[in-house]
Amino acid sequence: MDVTIGVQNLTREVTVETEQTAADVAAAVKKALAGGPLELTDSRGRQVIIPGSAIGYVEIGSEEQRKVGFGAV
């Protein structure tokens, strides 16, 4: 699932591809907005940490994987 994070005072968004569920990401965002950092682990095992006070918005993508190839039609 893709998670797009808008950070205050930055022109570009931060996009993280993670294997966490939408509920887990939403819980982490709520915790960060309450006063801590937003901590996510991407699909390669790297950890992304963003200060909760710098979060402008968070867009949580769907958990459904996109189909690739000719069978997707």
The domain ranges of the chain are 20-63
Residue 9 to residues 17, 18, 54, 62, 66: CA-CA distances in angstroms?
Answer: 22, 24, 8, 27, 32
- pLDDT above 70 as % of the chain: 86
Give the chain's mean pLDDT. Answer: 89
Ranges of the chain whose pLDDT falls below 70: 63-67, 69, 71-73
